[in-house]
Amino acid sequence: MNHHNHDHNHTKNELSFKEKLLSLFKHWIDHNLSHKENYLTWAEKAKKENLSDIVLCLEQASELSDKINQKLEKALKDLS
């Protein structure tokens, strides 16, 4: 067969597509939580500097991270 349509053996160590997605969803959820915490930490620092517009932006970014994680958690649940 040519290189576009060929057979090859998979080793037992390779993850299936579903396993890869499960792993990625878990990683992305954790990663987003880390970003959310950073946004809130910096929002507190910005608040001390009286940067109310920046505080609002960072708090909104935190909320968006929550919404993204809700979607990822649903996908993770649906795939499991």
Residue 9 vs residues 2, 12, 13: alpha-carbon distances, Å: 16, 10, 12
pLDDT band at 13 (very low <50, low <70, confident <90, very high): confident
Domain ranges of the chain: 17-79
Give the pTM. 0.76
Give the start-end residues of each E strand in the chain.
Answer: none
Sorted by sequence, the CB contacts under 8 Å of residue 59 that are 6+ apart come out as 39, 40, 43
What pLDDT, in 10s, does the model give residues 58-74? Answer: 999 999 999 999 999 99
